Amino acid sequence: MTDTDNQDKRTLREVASEACKCIDVGVAVLPKLLLNEDVYASTVRSEFNAIVVEHHMKWAPLCQDLPGPIEKGTESTRVGRYDFHHCDQIVDFGLRHGMKVKGHVLVWHVTTPSWVQNMTAKELSEQIRRHIFTTMGHFRGRIKYWDVVNEALAPDGSLAKNIFLEKLGPGYIEQCFRWAHEADPNAFLIYNDNKVEGCGLGDHSRKADAFYELLKNLKAKNAPVHGAGIQAHFNAAGVGLQRPPTPIAVKRQIRRLGDLGLRVNISEMDVRISKLPMDENMRTNAQCDIYRDIVSAALSEPAFDGIWLWGFTDAHTWIKHFYYDGDQPLLFDKEFKKKKSYYAFRDALGTLSIGGIVGGKQKLFQRNGELEPWGKVWMQPEPNFVSDKSSNILPSGDSNPDWLQR
């Protein structure tokens, strides 16, 4: 389906508003584009009911300045100076247009300011607490939903070897949630991670199992964790640990997270297709299947409350800088025209409209015990040699996410 021959002109936000339950349809935005490009801003405003700042609300971008004297000659006691102006403009844009605003992300080893690297455990702990209170305090009353800790798990499901784990031990995750709850007792607090979207896939879902266990342990300790964010940065050509999960695996993961009392959201969805064979139909089918069927499956779960895209136009995607250039992972093309994946995504939202059919035309779920060969048109065969690094079946041992591994 394309823009011209589509009679149904409803936007994503309009379809979401007709759903039988409140569903966030959110998007990560870039300040410079939202504040300066009309078509970018008007598309965000009309298509989405929720917004998150793609990068500028993280710790280092918020207080780039190194510690140092505020007035000439006086030793600064404040470590880092906060500059909220970019984020304030985005948050105010979202609130002005009746959008939910999500804070992303308070504690993530990738965007920790350089000046904490050499601190003692006590100093680091004090700085994390100060950052959480400073940031949540600044947005209190405007932002209720927070990604508190991000990507604390390594690809093999162990805790990522980052500065927090090394200096503060595994308890840092729980501690961050307790500080966040202290900073704003009304806030909805989320743990967010990638490659955790589906379970029941044997070796390929070790990290998804670890994600579940981490949240189960936090809930068992009565830690104030309310939500789980599954990022859904999918590579349609992925194999091994990079393979996209099936819809049924996503349903299973959301179901068991919901059984812990958590709400679940897809937090950063995009679907890379450029590593598939050079076949336009296959690439389009793959992207449409994944957006429509994974999102339909997620929406069919009671604990599921929202989908957040990591950008909306192929003209501006982080994939270009962190994976490879030339991919088209989103719902709008570079000229901001709706792609077939837009309509597939909207079909998924429509499954929650009155009379909507879960899974649309696709056979998403098990039929008579047989799992439909979902993705048979585009899924790539697993390589023969398990030890083959390129297959990504075995994590490289680097505790950074694949997009940070070089």
Neighbours of 168 (CB within 10 A): 17
Report which DSSP code applies to 400: S
Query: Which residue, 89 or 353, has its beta carbon nearer to ligand XIL?
Result: 89
Task: Using CB under 6 A, pick the residue from 24, 47, 174, 268 that binds ligand XIL.
Answer: 268
Is residue 16 within 8 Å of residue 306, measured between CB atoms? no
In the region spanning residues 194 to 223, those forming contacts with ligand XIL, defined by CB under 6 A, are: none
55 binding ligand XIL? (CB under 6 A): yes
Catalytic residue among 268, 301, 370, 372: 268
CB of 231 to ligand XIL, least distance (A): 6
Taking the alpha carbons at both ends of the chain, their separation in whole angstroms is: 38
d(CA 14, CA 17): 5
Query: Which residue, 165 or 352, has its beta carbon nearer to ligand XIL?
Result: 165
CB of 313 to ligand XIL, least distance (A): 14
> Tokens standing for 314?
């192929």
CB of 268 to ligand XIL, least distance (A): 6
54 binding ligand XIL? (CB under 6 A): yes
> Tokens standing for 170?
């595994």
In the region spanning residues 219 to 248, those forming contacts with ligand XIL, defined by CB under 6 A, are: 231
Give the contacts of 63 (CB within 8 A, at least 6 positions apart).
Answer: 80, 81, 82, 83, 113, 131
151 annotated active-site:
yes
268 annotated active-site:
yes
CB of 216 to ligand XIL, least distance (A): 22
318 binding ligand XIL? (CB under 6 A): yes
CB of 282 to ligand XIL, least distance (A): 26
Pairing between β-strand 263-272 and β-strand 233-235 as defined by DSSP bridges: parallel
Catalytic residue among 151, 166, 174, 197: 151
d(CA 94, CA 240): 39
d(CA 206, CA 196): 8
Which residues are at the interface with ligand XIL (CB under 6 A)?
54-55, 150, 231, 268, 318
Q: What residues are labeled active site?
A: 151, 268
